Structure 1
């Protein structure tokens, strides 16, 4: 047989050879580094025997993601073996490799850092013992019997859910056997450098109706230096995590007796959100033609039954009352659209009245799963820059483009435009019961959005099953510091709900015509956007967003009167300013202002008072020297007005 390698060279063998044997024949070093193989484009185990002509690529940790995955998957099995030794009653669920690491889920009590350190120590023993990983398969009944004997109910469930013709494979290493499709390394000894990162709760199969398991996260590398670099990176992003940094900066907090997903915005955090909210409302109303509404925070269930949310979204709502017992059942609103439809319906509309762009700063409530709560990114009460455009069908494409342009403008102003990905979220034709409307309507509207994104030269991916129940949408997503992706801005195409709400306009012929609707946000959820900004700027927000833009630092109490005068002038120009009048040395005050991430410090003493100046220190240029007070005010006001994002040129 002839084996064609990745570089185009060929190797000829007279008898079948395993992937590992071929790798070792090419070079002993490659055999040692090999983690898996790729045969005619399919990733296979090192033990796979090749019996015919094919194209073969030897996958190593360094040359492929698939090689890394096989390496880390083996590390997850080492983890499971160590856990079973230390906690014999723990039940194994699943343990895959993931980007930059691996995890394994166990049915066992929650763990702390001390527990993880103990498991790490046991993992080192497993690795040192150099267990060979032995691959074998069993018929379905024997496989189930084996896992029942080992008292592994989650594995039994997985086997029972496999297709009848599935190959049921296992890997055995010493005293540990796991249901697994592979691929894996040849032995545990190859895991040179690893670290258990954290543990958390995770529902079995990701379903909140199932039992909460304990998930252990880890990472593994072939070199200690690479592991140390990764751990340093993780420490850095942990310090950038908005959930940590936002609390340290006193932007928000949470309290157990108030509840999960219900953050308290502190004065500084609320000031940032207030600044963004006022900007968005003025932007939408004055430049983009929106009119503002204010609608109730709750409604009778009748409204949500009319909209379809009761049938399609009830589990995500906070319902007040019991339909079987109470005459009237209410629910907190998860979105504003049904309310704004009745604003539209309050009077008859002509084709000349359209488009109408309704905007509202909406407080919404969604019954998120408790396991999903995280800081400001996943909460149960939040505020959103919500809008609904009621348009004629012939206006739909241009208005949709306008919503895309507004979203891009907001992202650019915040300095976030390069951090996002665009997704066309489509319906799932295999689960039609999740949606309203006919298939042809869905296909037509999805094609319209596809054409718009293509025309605007926006790179996008298509996600099946991510559409709202009433229409496809564009989701603009971003990742947090840990790589988890969340939707920041949504723009939805709706050709269906106007029918359910009997919405119409009178066209030029005097006929009643159904409008189309665009559901959209311009900046999305304010709380989630604040979290994003904290992590993006590590708390060093652009000046216009800072809750404290200037701190005045008098050298001593003698200059407090001048400091107060400077403060008054700054406040008169709309600058967020404070005075540090404490009896502390000026160096201490400067260091503390830096720690508080204040963009500008104005040092004032005898010379500054005499000349009507301020000595400016900034996070951008460091010591900027003395400036006339009015010059400084003019400069910072321009920076705030234009929402400039200045480059930081000095190390803080």
Structure 2
């Protein structure tokens, strides 16, 4: 297998850069490893840009990085480009690959680069963010671009690729700037890997929570009230309410106390917490009585003040507060995506205040909670420990101590985890919970964060066994992450066929004739007393059509009621997958449903 790069101290270098800078390290081969795919996809992005330039000679390019879902390039052309144009661009890319062009690296002075791209406002925008005096350019055929690499030696190795979608993007991610075009793509060394990925994309389109949310009437968005602000329709509100109740009980049996903080706080609280300096661009502010206030992006400050409302003894610790906290965060217009990225959402948030000696056990308890929830919804999951980011508060000693405490807790339970260098919150390291859905995609959901900075900033205290004041440790914890995002993920994971315990409509009752409607409504009322939601399909349609309509609703249970069922007080339970029916008494049916609900514990 051909070598295409070098891995040294966690950094990826292509062969040309490694030779120029005399860098040695582990070989990177063309083998679909994460490191090799980064090199391949970076080169494929340049090849896409070259194809665009040949098709649209006036094209100007901003940046073309490798991202989690493959790669993209931001650019500007005079024409309007849509998904319908992607096959044409792909065809041109294949032509370029067949030319087997060498990809060459050159070093040039900043002055040379500025002169070369003097008439390219996008490249000038890139240069504003670079301070180096000597820059690198990569060239293949007639195409060249300012770039650090890494890249493959030539275009012949780029064979298995697919352009996936066209999107709009604000220049530099700033919505004050102009909107330019972005094309996403994916590439592998192996054709089979690409085919498998394309099949996954096709399946993902069928499961898209925005499409299913509309079909199942779960939620809606309305530009009249504002972007990124979901409207929960009755079906969605029922589903969400059941999930909330399920989690409420799970929290209470684990010793959590419900609390609620205000949604708007004086700005000085956000200054003290560090959010004003480190997170202000993501927040909304207003002025009341000539005083600045900030709408909360997180629930931690409110919970801190609830903790400080009373004198706390070491015997009271750990204290566990939880809240379904509504928060607001400013997301760029182009970044919002269904329920996955919204401007208002509700966290299943909790904060645990404990002794330093209790941190390990608290983390283990939280991870047990996570495991219980994931098993209920049939999710596999992975964990990552996220370390100190560039923008952070607190000493190096704090970061080293708390990061090691997290790893010790995981190691003591024999739990596997990865490391996300620089991925921590600005106030502390964390464990990120990443769930795997039914078609193999990975989603960031829950998080566990250890924080000693906020207790210091807010002068939090407890009375120790000697009657002295000490500072507690604060642990931030969310398992779902947010109800919105989790419901979006769960919708796609289940393809809209939700588990019985949270399904918005759990039973559809189909009376065969008008004479059976009264019995159907009697069952519906009895089910509602047991908090089981049902619908009666007594519309003016044929029986077969009503059954087909019920099956399309993806409900767990369908009942068909006729003369025999009314007379004997029984039900005919229809299995919509097998298209089979079984009979049981009404009491047996209701007991069966209650047993399912009672057995679905977290």
Report TM bin, short chain. 0.7 to 0.9
Alignment counterpart, residue 130 of structure 2, candidates 161, 181, 184: 161
Find the counterpart in structure 1 of residue 386 from structure 2.
Answer: 425
Q: Distance in 1 between matches of 2:129 and 2:527?
A: 71
Instruction: State the Cα distance separating 1:234 from its structure 2 match.
Output: 1.5
Bigger shift: 306-315 or 202-211?
202-211
Q: Distance in 1 between matches of 2:54 and 2:493?
A: 42
Find the counterpart in structure 2 of residue 261 from structure 1.
Answer: 228
- Aligned CA RMSD, in angstroms, stands at 3.7
Secondary structure in structure 2 of the residue aligned to 1:452: helix
The CA deviation string for residues 337-361 of structure 1, in whole angstroms up to 9 with x for no partner, is 2222222222322333333222222
- C-alpha distance 155-177 of structure 1, shift in aligned 2 (>3 A): farther
Instruction: State the Cα distance separating 1:410 from its structure 2 match.
Output: 2.2
Alignment counterpart, residue 312 of structure 2, candidates 331, 334, 349: 349
1:309 aligns to 2:275 (yes or no): yes
1:615 aligns to 2:581 (yes or no): no
1:381 aligns to 2:344 (yes or no): yes
- C-alpha distance 179-304 of structure 1, shift in aligned 2 (>3 A): closer
Instruction: State the Cα distance separating 1:266 from its structure 2 match.
Output: 1.2
**Which entry has the higher C-alpha Rg, 1 or 2?**
1
Instruction: State the Cα distance separating 1:235 from its structure 2 match.
Output: 1.6
Instruction: State the Cα distance separating 1:196 from its structure 2 match.
Output: 2.8
Secondary structure in structure 2 of the residue aligned to 1:282: helix
| Equivalent runs, 1:78-477 vs 2, <5 Å | 78-95=47-64, 101-108=70-77, 111-120=81-90, 122-123=92-93, 130=99, 132-133=101-102, 135=104, 137-140=106-109, 144=113, 147-148=116-117, 151=120, 153-154=122-123, 157=126, 161=130, 168-173=136-141, 175-179=142-146, 181=149, 183-184=151-152, 186=154, 195-203=162-170, 212-219=179-186, 230-285=197-252, 287-321=253-287, 327-416=290-379, 418=380, 420-428=381-389, 431=390, 434-477=391-434
Superposition TM-score, scaled by structure 2 size: 0.86
Find the counterpart in structure 2 of residue 649 from structure 1.
Answer: none
Superposition TM-score, scaled by structure 1 size: 0.80
- C-alpha distance 66-155 of structure 1, shift in aligned 2 (>3 A): farther
Secondary structure in structure 2 of the residue aligned to 1:543: coil
The CA deviation string for residues 599-631 of structure 1, in whole angstroms up to 9 with x for no partner, is 111111122222222111134654242112211
| Equivalent runs, 1:481-496 vs 2, <5 Å | 486-496=443-453
1:523 aligns to 2:480 (yes or no): yes
Instruction: State the Cα distance separating 1:206 from its structure 2 match.
Output: 5.5
Instruction: State the Cα distance separating 1:275 from its structure 2 match.
Output: 0.7
- C-alpha distance 571-212 of structure 1, shift in aligned 2 (>3 A): same
Q: Distance in 2 between matches of 1:335 and 1:69?
A: 34
Alignment counterpart, residue 512 of structure 1, candidates 459, 469, 487: 469
- C-alpha distance 57-460 of structure 1, shift in aligned 2 (>3 A): closer
The CA deviation string for residues 462-495 of structure 1, in whole angstroms up to 9 with x for no partner, is 2233333332222212367998865311222222
CA contact (8 A) 1:602 1:615 kept: yes
**Bigger RCO (CA 8 Å, 6+ sep):** 2
Bigger shift: 140-149 or 232-241?
140-149
Secondary structure in structure 2 of the residue aligned to 1:546: coil
The CA deviation string for residues 540-590 of structure 1, in whole angstroms up to 9 with x for no partner, is 111111010110111122321222233233223332111100232222222
| Equivalent runs, 1:34-45 vs 2, <5 Å | 37=4
Instruction: State the Cα distance separating 1:363 from its structure 2 match.
Output: 0.9
Instruction: State the Cα distance separating 1:524 from its structure 2 match.
Output: 2.8
- C-alpha distance 482-96 of structure 1, shift in aligned 2 (>3 A): farther
The CA deviation string for residues 384-406 of structure 1, in whole angstroms up to 9 with x for no partner, is 12222222333333223222222
Instruction: State the Cα distance separating 1:379 from its structure 2 match.
Output: 1.3
CA contact (8 A) 1:551 1:600 kept: yes
Structure 2: runs of 5+ lacking an equivalent: none
The CA deviation string for residues 164-220 of structure 1, in whole angstroms up to 9 with x for no partner, is 566x343232x43344546446556x7666543211134556666776542112345
Alignment counterpart, residue 585 of structure 2, candidates 628, 633, 636: 628
- C-alpha distance 527-159 of structure 1, shift in aligned 2 (>3 A): closer
Bigger shift: 251-260 or 461-470?
461-470
Find the counterpart in structure 2 of residue 548 from structure 1.
Answer: 505
Instruction: State the Cα distance separating 1:149 from its structure 2 match.
Output: 6.6
Q: Distance in 1 between matches of 2:424 and 2:7?
A: 35
- C-alpha distance 232-136 of structure 1, shift in aligned 2 (>3 A): closer
- Size of the aligned set, in residue pairs, is 594
Secondary structure in structure 2 of the residue aligned to 1:553: strand
Bigger shift: 303-312 or 100-109?
100-109
Q: Distance in 1 between matches of 2:207 and 2:371?
A: 25
- C-alpha distance 398-65 of structure 1, shift in aligned 2 (>3 A): closer
CA contact (8 A) 1:92 1:152 kept: no
Bigger shift: 533-542 or 470-479?
470-479
